[in-house]
Structure 1
Amino acid sequence: MTSDLQFRPTDPQFLLNPYPWMAKMRQEAPAFYDPEQQAWMVFRYSDVKRALSEWKTFSSILPKPPEQKDFTQGLPFSDPPKHQSLRAIVQKVFTPRRIEALAPRITELTHELLGQMKQHEQVDLIQAFSSPLPIVVIAEILGVPLDEQKGFKHWSDGILASDLTAIQNMADYFRQLLKKRESHPGQDLISDLIAAYEEGEKLTGQEVLDFCILLLTAGNETTTNLYSNTIWCLHEYPDENQRLRNDLSLLPGAIEEVLRYYSPVTYLNRYTQVETQIGDQTIPAGQVVHPWLASANRDEHQFENADRFIIDRNPNEHVAFGNGIHFCLGAPLSRLEAKIGLKALLEEFPKLRVDSKESLKPIPTLRVHGLESLSVLL
């Protein structure tokens, strides 16, 4: 077996390009038990979709309560009927209209960052643009004052790295903010979540806290990586880059193709409630299952030329935002931010290109696919 076809989850080169290994797994071991992670990995598109949609077999409820007491069984860790009632309450306030209404403010923030970038010939795109924009947008949705947003990026990264101190600090901050909003409501999402209810059922303080943490971490990581992964893809495919720059009306389709080609979230967690069969493997009840979104999105049986980046790919039924009842609530916000931010970035800097002298450094975790930094020449 060649080196790039071995599972090396801490090797930067593997993290940059795990796709040859995924292709081998889809072919030879589509359902595979990894003793180190004590989890079953599922790789094919049809099996991943099934694991994400059949919640009676593949539950989202954590089998053991987390050691970190600042998390409970919130929206991502619930099954029906609890999941439906939680989601219904959240959807009452996190509406498409509310998201669309953010467009002018996202545009304003985008141009502020681009204005700062114009003072330089070269920047780290992630520090200068990809990271600050989604963090500020989410902080403003939640009603966090500008001078209190400094810790957000650190906390968000801390959750990915299972840094208990970062998680605790974030939870403590949001608890204080919840107390303030309970006595002095504002025009923000936290105030509306506190007030919202569905058929007499309200969110508990802990459930509001869980949703704040979810929105901050999921919204930040997904959109940050979507920005930088787009520029990374365009760097790797100069012909597609030129096509897009010649016709920016292709941008919405290009964003969907980035989500498929370099899925920001690599895999999710599910837990078997009953014994089940995937391929020729029998998976017992009580097992951890990792449906690999990134592998499903490169499945050659689902996508023609699956390993090519094609900006106007159609159809493109990727699973980058999940599938089934847990389909990402923040997907419309992420797409809106990407359309506004990337269009402005490409218009403002028609000659923007990746600095080929700088080597690419991946985010050092397998859970998400993206870069720690991306040096670009403006």
Structure 2
Amino acid sequence: MTCNPNVIMALGYAVAGSEEAARVQGEFASVSSEMRVYLRDLVEQRRAVPKDDLLTRLVEAEVDGARLTEEELLGFFQLLLSAGHETTTNLLNNALLCLVEHPEQLARLRAESGLLPSAIEEVLRYRSPVQAMFRVTRSEVSLHGQVIPAGKMVLAMIGSANRDPRKFHDAERFDITREPNPHIAFGHGIHFCIGAPLSRLEARVGLSVLLERVRGFALASDAPWEPRKAIHVHGTTRLPIRFEPRP
């Protein structure tokens, strides 16, 4: 199955319908056009004067004599902006929210810092930053007695799979010691997220520094947190937290 990552966000709103969908799709088209112009100038600069950066590597990448097209380069950058930035931001926000809502788990993490990698995996399962992913079938697929024809769009619900009681014992419980934890927050197989190691590293660094520098933290009582208004990502639009720094 394949799907152009550039249109995932627009598709999410399109499926939801409403005037908001039309507005978001229009903004998406406008931003994509602006990015294309901006990227075209950067690509020409890198071709003239290569640098030790990702864009130069993408411009110079070659397989069997073929190089990336302008559309493919644009796709890479849009993917990096959404998959490489927003998802990790949501992972960190979701981690704070999980720990605030489960103080006994936070206390255990503070007592056993070695549990941090396991805690991050449980956040990825319990509050998966990517809740759903669009795919298009390349061939006919039979699944649980149903047949999905070739060329049809499928919405794979990652967040639901990560709470499946057939795969996870006490699936609705947040447990930083969960083992095994075969979640699919980063996908599976040939579609496994290429940025998974970096995302895990960023989460470990960010959360370890936070736990070292603050004595405690809690949701602000004077303003509720607000979830993201989207069907494919899971995070917070607003997360007011009060921190108690260490002396």
Same fold (TM over 0.5): yes
1:339 alignment counterpart: 204
Whole-Å separation in 2 of the counterparts to 1:260 and 1:238: 18
Q: Is structure 2 residue 205 aligned with structure 1 residue 263?
A: no
CA contact (8 A) 1:196 1:203 kept: yes
In structure 1, distance between residues paired with 2:63 and 2:149: 37
1:245 aligns with 2:187: no
Q: CA deviation at 1:204?
A: 2.7
Q: Does 1:60 align with 2:10?
A: no
Task: In structure 1, give the amino acid aligned to 2:121.
Answer: E
Tell me how far apart the structure 2 counterparts of residues 169 and 288 of structure 1 sit (CA, whole Å).
28
Matched, 1:217 2:217: no
Deviation of 1:179 after TM superposition, in Å, equals 1.6
Check whether the contact 1:363–1:369 (CA below 8 A) recurs between aligned residues: yes
- Tell me the residue number matched to 1:197: 62
- Number of equivalences: 225
Partner SS for 1:269: strand
Q: How far 1:61 moved relative to its partner? A: 4.5
Question: How far apart are residue 335 of structure 1 and its match?
Answer: 0.9
Deviations 1:239-295, CA, capped at 9 Å, x for gaps: 001111222221111111100100001111122334433223333333211110000
Report 1:60-209 matches (<5 A): 60-61=2-3, 161-162=24-25, 163=27, 164-209=29-74
For the residues of structure 2 that align with 1:275 and 1:326, how far apart are their CA atoms? Answer: 19
Name the residue aligned to 1:109.
Answer: none
**2:241 matched residue in structure 1:** 376
> Structure 1 residue runs of 4+, over 4 Å off?
none
Give the aligned CA root-mean-square deviation in angstroms: 1.9
1:348 positional shift: 1.1
SS of 2:47's equivalent?
helix
For 2:96, the aligned partner's letter is: I
Find out whether 1:314 has 2:185 as its counterpart.
no
TM-score, normalised on structure 1? 0.56
CA distance in 2, matches of 1:197, 1:257: 38
Mind listing any 5+ residue stretches in structure 1 that lack a counterpart? 1-58, 73-160
Are the aligned partners of 2:35 and 2:74 in contact in 1 as well (CA < 8 Å)?
no
The equivalent of 1:353 in structure 2 is 218
Give the Cα–Cα distance (whole angstroms) in 2 for the partners of residues 260 and 268 of structure 1. 15
Q: TM-score, normalised by structure 2?
A: 0.84
Q: Does 1:367 align with 2:232?
A: yes
- The answer (yes or no) to whether the contact 1:298–1:307 under 8 Å persists in 2 is yes
Give the AA of the match of 1:289. Answer: V
For residue 304 of structure 1, the aligned residue among 164, 169, 174 is 169
Identical counterparts, % of pairs: 45
The change in CA–CA distance for 1:348 and 1:171 in structure 2 (over 3 A counts) is farther
- Structure 2: runs of 5+ lacking an equivalent: 8-23
Alpha-carbon distance change, 195 to 282 in structure 1, aligned in 2, over 3 angstroms: closer
